[in-house]
Chain A
Amino acid sequence: MAEIVAMPKLGFDMAEGTLVRWVIAEGGEVTKGAVLAEIETDKATVEVESSAGGILYRQLVAEGTAVPVGTPIAVIAAPGEEVKDLPETGLEAEGAVPVAAVEEKKAPDEKTGAAESAGQKAEAPEVPAAQPAQVAPEGGALRASPLARRIAQENNLNLNQVTGTGPSGRITRKDVEKALLGAPAVVTPAAAPLRPVTAAATLPAPSWEPGAPVPADERQPIAKLRSIIGRRMVESKQQVPHFYITSAYDVAPLMELRKQINLQLPEESKLSVNDFIIKAAALTLRQFPNINASLTDKEIVRHGHVNIGVAVAMDSGLMTVVCKDADQKPLRTISQEVRDMAVRARAGKVRPDDIEGSTFSISNLGMFDVEHFVAIINPPEAAILAVGSAQNVPVVIDGEVKVGMRMKATLSADHRITDGAEAARFMQALAGFIENPLRLML
């Protein structure tokens, strides 16, 4: 019997997904759980798995079509089966716009600056005439000596941002070394701290030459994920009335407990500080259903599940992976799940389940030596917790200044759902777990 596959709902607020690519062609054999297609949601590109085995009888929507959640996208049938009543998608009637198709078509034009018609040409960004050969696309006409290329690669330096002073603008060792020792602006954000270029390279005397060549401006098209993050954050910051509560927690016992636990664990499954925070926040949220909530047009939804979204930094932007029912899971399970999801997210292989259904989010920048910061709420959630670094600080104990270990966390909350007093009580209750970490183990 024929089985209908519909556009899955991958988050509370997901209304539609763009079918980016069909993985299996019509008539192709499908096993249950096989990847049928790739869809792009507001958050990520994910794979749609088949809910049944058989033959992919019909693809109901074309690649590039934005499809509302729940709309049929495919029909799976038994081999040889004739399906008479194909479901209607209603997409054509509503004039669905093939978003990705339009964007894909535009992209190459923007890159090369070439256009098919004068009208399109006007839209193409101007390439400044003054930019010499080094702005050529990677692998193209960029002139650089093999040695310069090797040094740049070893030092994670983008040659597109280096000005060549050799014949015909060729980038040579001298240019690369100058770039590496000079302005940090020419180093890509992902670059490791500067290392010596070669054994022979020595630090030159500080010098400044007026009119010395500087890297040209670099223009990058806004990636899909980047634009989604931008849109959602603008929405949140403009529409959600944020307020902020900051608390400092004594994390000396937590750090000590973590040390003890990690001594017992192999390297690949050691617990992070954030794993403890996830568990602590989840247990606290169980006591504060109004903060484990979402706002819809008419009502406040207090969620039964406590699903913690964890912000994962990636080269291309930010993604929130979701640890489900974190209040019920042991620390090591939380740790393993988050670790696995983060790896998948960074590899671009995130699963729908990894990113859907968060009820509260945590953003932790503790590893970057950050005292504290405030985060933007991830709509439609009620709040987000921003976690700083655990630091040795002077504290007053019994009238004396001593060295203490403190970690600051800031809750950003939606004033339409909750108020300052409740949020402050939440932060207080959170202290009960963070400062008594054994409670997380019980």
Chain B
Amino acid sequence: MARITMREAISQALWEEMERDPKVFIMGEEVGLWGGTYAVTKGFYDHFGADRVRDTPIAEAAIIGGAIGAALTGLRPVAELMTINFAFSAFDHIVNQAAKMHMMFGGQMVLPLVIRAVGGGGRQLGATHSQTPDAIFAHFPGLKVVAPGTPADAKGLLKAAIRSQDPLLFIEHATLYQTRGEVPEGDYIVPIGKSTVARPGKDVTIVTYSKMLEISLKAAETLAKEGIEAEIVDLRSLRPLDMDPVIESFKKTNRAVVVEEGWKSFGIGSEIAARIYEEAFDYVDAPVKRVAQTEVPLPYNHTLEQMMLPKVEDVISAVKEVL
């Protein structure tokens, strides 16, 4: 198995799906001639041509609106948003149109639309370009929300997303593109809506996803040296949310920490904690602890920015608090 970066894994998935299905095409800002802001689609323009790798104006509403139209007419668009922060410009198209059309019109049409969006902070892009609004999008029924934490999951989930009949937001973390990992070659599919145990343990359950998986795994390594074995559940998909591995793990450990990069209030951790209390109340031995970003607009200053984002030490101390 090849050890490749997440950037390469995503690129591979796109390439393979475009080769496999001529209905798959890409549209977005700088995706064509430039090869993508994060260089994911480098070489695609030359290989697949301008029809299937379409550069668009800097107009997110137009990108998503156009992609919805293309999906309704039978194509399989993969629309790229340079950052998820720009999805707010296309918010109505995403949550009011794409998420609702299939059910609102009695299932007359399907919307096989994938929106790739780059999320997360830590790259000094300022408060308006560094957010993690994943929970906002996961709130809406009708829109799948997927956020991989490893290169292999990125490839497998993106291929599954492109083949899905539903509108789907695929969130790639800006600081994970360089992360390397074993990625199966060829047609590797990871089903959407399946959480997975990323690290087995017995003392505490850490529930996380995306970039925070990396942080949690590092925290678990340190904790293991102190004799604390954390079990890490990677959600991978926020909607549909697969709680089974979480509940199963919690029933074993009776303690949980949820680690997310977004803000705590009304966030992923709130949802997971509530579900644990609802589904495993009699197994609760300590309150579920949430680790999240400090509730301020993320500063530009590097030191301040790093202070606000969840760190390995935050996870370690949260684990120790629930033990």
Contact = CB atoms under 8 A, between A and B. Distances in A.
A150 B254 contact: no
Interface stretch (A114-122, A141-149, A288-296): A141-149
A362 B282 CA distance: 46
Interface stretch (B144-152, B171-179, B180-188, B283-291): B283-291
A170 B255 CA distance: 14
B148 to A, nearest CB: 33
A277 to B, nearest CB: 46
Interface in A110-149: 145-148
Contacts of B284: 145-147
Contact of A148 (B252, B281, B285): B285
Contact of A172 (B252, B281, B282, B286): B286
A266 B254 CA distance: 47
A146 B286 contact: no
A150 B282 contact: yes
Given A147-B254, A173-B254, A166 B286 contact: yes
Interface residues of B, number: 8
Nearest to A153: B282
A172 B285 CA distance: 6
Contacts of B252: 200
A145 B323 CA distance: 12
A153 to B, nearest CB: 10
Contacts of A173: 254, 285
A167 B285 CA distance: 11
Nearest to B252: A200
Contacts, number: 25
Contacts of B282: 146-147, 150
Interface string B234-256: 00000000000000000010100
Contacts of A147: 254, 282-285
Interface residues of A, number: 11
Nearest to A149: B282
Contacts of A200: 252
Interface string B95-129: 00000000000000000000000000000000000
A147 B282 CA distance: 5
Contacts of A172: 285-286
Interface string A153-182: 000000000000011001011000000000
Nearest to A200: B252
A148 B286 CA distance: 10
A282 to B, nearest CB: 52
A313 to B, nearest CB: 33
Contacts of B285: 145-148, 172-173
A167 B282 CA distance: 19
Contacts of B286: 145, 166-167, 170, 172
A145 B283 CA distance: 9
A347 to B, nearest CB: 29
A45 to B, nearest CB: 36
A200 B254 CA distance: 12
A349 to B, nearest CB: 33
B255 to A, nearest CB: 9
Q: Which of A147, A173, A200 has the most CB of B within 10 A?
A: A147
Nearest to A173: B285
A166 B282 CA distance: 17
A27 B284 CA distance: 54
Contact of B281 (A146, A166, A170): A146
A200 to B, nearest CB: 8
Nearest to B254: A147
Interface string A237-276: 0000000000000000000000000000000000000000
A403 B282 CA distance: 53
Interface string B12-50: 000000000000000000000000000000000000000
Nearest to B321: A167
Nearest to A170: B286
Interface in A198-240: 200
A190 to B, nearest CB: 23
Contacts of B281: 146
A115 to B, nearest CB: 37
A147 B285 CA distance: 5
A150 B282 CA distance: 6
A148 to B, nearest CB: 7
Contact of B283 (A146, A166, A167): A146
Nearest to B281: A146
Nearest to A166: B286
Contacts of A145: 254, 284-286
A167 B322 CA distance: 9
B74 to A, nearest CB: 52
B286 to A, nearest CB: 6
A42 to B, nearest CB: 44
B285 to A, nearest CB: 4
Nearest to A175: B285
A243 B282 CA distance: 56
Interface string A330-364: 00000000000000000000000000000000000
Contacts of B283: 146-147, 150
A428 to B, nearest CB: 60
Contacts of A150: 282-283
A145 B288 CA distance: 12
A170 B321 CA distance: 13
A323 B30 CA distance: 98
A294 B163 CA distance: 95
A130 B286 CA distance: 25
Interface in A53-77: none
A173 B323 CA distance: 11
Nearest to A176: B285
B119 to A, nearest CB: 34
Interface in B256-300: 281-286
Interface string B49-91: 0000000000000000000000000000000000000000000
25 contacts: A145-B254, A145-B284, A145-B285, A145-B286, A146-B281, A146-B282, A146-B283, A146-B284, A146-B285, A147-B254, A147-B282, A147-B283, A147-B284, A147-B285, A148-B285, A150-B282, A150-B283, A166-B286, A167-B286, A170-B286, A172-B285, A172-B286, A173-B254, A173-B285, A200-B252
Given A146-B285, A148-B285, 17 more contacts: A145-B254, A145-B285, A145-B286, A146-B281, A146-B282, A146-B283, A146-B284, A147-B284, A147-B285, A150-B283, A166-B286, A167-B286, A170-B286, A172-B286, A173-B254, A173-B285, A200-B252
The 3 nearest A-B residue pairs measured at CB: A147-B285, A145-B285, A146-B284
